[in-house]
A and B are shown apart, each in its own frame.
Chain A
Amino acid sequence: MRELKILAVVVFFSLLTYYLVEPYAHHQMHMKVDANGDEIHIESHGFTYDGAADIAEAERKGDEVLVSKKKAFWSKVVQISKIKGDVVVGEASFALCIGCHNGANFNMGGAIPPNLDHVGGIYDKNYLIALIKDPAMAGNVDHKYKNTIEHPMGRIQVMMTEDQQIADVVAYMIAKKAGEVSPKEAFNEACVRCHAMRYVNVTQLGDTPKFKHEKDELAYKIKVIEEQDAVKAYMGKLPQDLSMMIRARSEHFMETFVENPQSQLPGTSMPRVGLNQAGYDKVKAYLTEAGDPSKKAREKLGPWVIAFFVLFTILAFFWKKSMWRDLH
């Protein structure tokens, strides 16, 4: 039938144009290539961390020393992860962590040490081991420091020197600091010391309290600005507000970026966050709540509206049929 042939032509050219300007063009625009011009495929690795991505990155740079350093570090991490940790002994060591991670909201060397209430639940075990072993290497931001000791958390290297000690404290975190966590808590613990999210009234200092007097509000604002300046001085620029991040970046970008920021923004000062799959899901849920709050309503209403127009079209079809019956 002629009409269907014409429709096929229209649909074909529309879809062709769509394919070229959307999936194909975006793939080309966001493609990363290595020194030989070959495409680097950045794929999510399920929020587990074994250093493979970091080693591959160092290999692409052609830096032999760096490659062997990364390999040695991550094989050490895997080795420690096989040691059986003692939860009771770990608790004692954990007291060392609390010295800084004390919830006082006090900036130490660039950022506020995050709250560790759910640390064993939202972060990957290997990542936690790596972080205690060498925070700069774990975050894949070793290019920022001459020596890890310069890292705000660098002193951990002289505080926890034994592999067994690291295994113990991580075992403690996973056993005792992994309770039920809400999306908001996961987000606050993982992101907030650097990022604000103004649509849910969160700044680098955490939830913004309500104030009765403007004077108090302004005084708090100044504290926020001071904290932002400190973060800015440490990171090089103020990390972006995350309010609309869930819509401003694709799902693939978010996943691979959170797993390893260097994969999408080479040279960025943002360290790897180290979230595990469950932790990332919580953070993502909270980003969606802030940046795309209509998602649920949209998904609920969609089928009804479409069903309405399907019915409308069927009725219109029969009306047209009846109108055109005597014409040919």
Chain B
Amino acid sequence: MAKFDENAKPFTNKWLDERIGLNTLKRVLNTEYWIPKDINFLWAMGMILAATFGILLISGIFLLMYYKPDTNLAFDSVNYTIMSEVGYGWLWRHIHGVGASLVFLIIYIHMFTGIYYGSYKRGRELIWLSGMGLFVAFSAEAFSGYMLPWGQMSYWAGMVITNLFSGGSLEAYGLVEWIRGDYVPGDAYLTRFFMLHVLLIPLVIIGLIVLHFGTLRLPHVNNQEGADIDYEESAALYKAGKKKESKVIPFSPVFLSKDIFVMGVYFILFFYLVFYHFNFAMDPVNFDPADGLKTPAHIYPEWYFLWSYEILRPFSKDVGLIAFALSQLAFIFLPFIDRSPNVAPAHKRGLFQIWFWVLLIDMIVLTAMGKLPPTNETFAAIGWYSAVLFLFMGPALFVITIFEKKIEKGA
């Protein structure tokens, strides 16, 4: 057994260090966790996501104390009990609702940052893959949470999405019933999505966040130029006090100070939305109680699912489902589709830069068309073309990057 100092007072630094390696932990995770200096505010999105998840967790715990997962009680427990009887219940609910929407905005910014700077390439594949795992888990968390207020949109979105599992012409209605626990969304359906939302998926998310951080430690964070930094050399320079010459900074407190500042700006926006502009995240349609006999005029998912919804919608049943499934998986394979040897920002990668902006704009167009009524022929046509374009983006990336020239170091 290791040696333990008899005279060390409990819970002092030395006492803790002997037992849990406190100094090593601090060094590895904070003071000597080296981050490149050449970064911009987009590098703070990870910490913003972690903070937003924390806020969702805390507000969720408060809501959980009063929410009732029962089709007869759910709507009123949210809209009456929490909103008017529980002290500051309205605040927690608005924070939770707005947070759930904003977390996806930041996820998308985080994702597109990764794509732009090539932060998924050799050595960083697992960062990308665990990140995609988080995206899937957050999507499931968002969907299951959307069921809980048991309003019109909860019910009908639940109906539409679970119906997808019938697999088009496969007509696997048995599977749909198994998922719902009933022929239509009902009590069994609500209670299981409640369980998923408050227990199973959050556990998975927490696990994946740990994994995501873990995958980051050895390859280190990418930087604005995709430069391959000699971390030992730069760290030695920094420790020797040559901070100007060193290309790195410690995670804590230097990198963190910037994160906290960006977080402050983000929280101004966050709470502006919570207090003054929450309707975008809390659809008025969902303030009508669920009614299985009254289909809303327009059924649409929350904004962050619209692009994939629009890949499903313009095609015939089976083609649409296959396209939808492909689009859900497409991003996962990004590190393996991109054949280019370069880790560099898109503006230095020729055709890849065009590919990037086309992808971004195409997804925004898909997002818009996913909400606009498809009964309008122009919208339906734009939706169809942008969905087809999206499906070609994967093969296009493969071809573009095969022919991409290697960028010489120091160029």
On whether the two chains bind one another, the answer is yes
A293-B84, A323-B257 known; A306 and B368 CB under 8 Å? no
> When the two chains form their complex, are residues A327 and B243 in contact, meaning their CB atoms are under 8 A apart?
yes
- What's the nearest-Cβ distance from chain B to residue A281, in Å? 21
CA distance A163 to B309 in the complex (A): 60
Contact for B287 among A244, A320, A327, A328, CB less than 8 A: A244
Scan residues 252-297 of chain B and give those whose CB is less than 8 A from a CB of chain A. 253-254, 257-258, 260-261, 263-265, 267-268, 271-272, 274-276, 280, 284-285, 287-289, 297
Contact for B261 among A14, A199, A313, CB less than 8 A: A313
> When the two chains form their complex, are residues A28 and B376 in contact, meaning their CB atoms are under 8 A apart?
yes
CA distance A328 to B371 in the complex (A): 47
Closest Cβ neighbor of A244 among chain B residues: B287
A199-B80, A294-B90 known; A316 and B257 CB under 8 Å? yes
A199-B84, A248-B288, A293-B83 known; A320 and B268 CB under 8 Å? no
- What's the nearest-Cβ distance from chain A to residue B40, in Å? 5
Contact for B367 among A21, A28, A305, A319, CB less than 8 A: A21
- What's the nearest-Cβ distance from chain B to residue A227, in Å? 21
> When the two chains form their complex, are residues A327 and B288 in contact, meaning their CB atoms are under 8 A apart?
no
> When the two chains form their complex, are residues B287 and A309 in contact, meaning their CB atoms are under 8 A apart?
no
Tally of A-B residue pairs with Cβ under 8 A?
132
Contacts of B379 in A (CB 8 A): 28
Contact for B276 among A13, A291, A302, CB less than 8 A: A302
Contact for B41 among A3, A13, A199, CB less than 8 A: A3
A29-B373, A305-B275 known; A20 and B268 CB under 8 Å? no
> When the two chains form their complex, are residues A328 and B368 in contact, meaning their CB atoms are under 8 A apart?
no
A302-B276, A309-B267, A317-B261 known; A20 and B367 CB under 8 Å? yes
> When the two chains form their complex, are residues B364 and A324 in contact, meaning their CB atoms are under 8 A apart?
no
> When the two chains form their complex, are residues B371 and A249 in contact, meaning their CB atoms are under 8 A apart?
no
CA distance A243 to B78 in the complex (A): 13
Contacts of B83 in A (CB 8 A): 292-294
Contacts of B249 in A (CB 8 A): 327
Interface SS of A by simple majority: helix
> When the two chains form their complex, are residues B267 and A312 in contact, meaning their CB atoms are under 8 A apart?
yes
Q: Does B37 contact A (CB under 8 A)?
A: yes
**Count of chain B residues near A, Cβ 8 A:** 53
Scan residues 136-189 of chain B and give those whose CB is less than 8 A from a CB of chain A. none
> When the two chains form their complex, are residues A244 and B79 in contact, meaning their CB atoms are under 8 A apart?
yes
- What's the nearest-Cβ distance from chain A to residue B303, in Å? 5
- What's the nearest-Cβ distance from chain B to residue A269, in Å? 16
Contacts of B284 in A (CB 8 A): 247-250
Q: Does A301 contact B (CB under 8 A)?
A: yes
Contact for B275 among A7, A25, A244, A306, CB less than 8 A: A306
> When the two chains form their complex, are residues A324 and B372 in contact, meaning their CB atoms are under 8 A apart?
no
Scan residues 7-30 of chain A and give those whose CB is less than 8 A from a CB of chain B. 7, 10, 13-14, 16-18, 20-22, 24-25, 28-29
Q: Does A326 contact B (CB under 8 A)?
A: yes
A–B pairs, 11, beta carbons within 8 Å:
A2-B40, A6-B40, A18-B280, A22-B280, A243-B79, A244-B287, A247-B287, A291-B79, A301-B91, A319-B257, A324-B254
| Contact surface of B with A, Cβ cutoff 8 Å | 37, 40-42, 76, 79-80, 83-84, 89-91, 94, 105, 109, 243-244, 249, 253-254, 257-258, 260-261, 263-265, 267-268, 271-272, 274-276, 280, 284-285, 287-289, 297-298, 303, 306, 360, 364, 367-368, 371-373, 376, 379
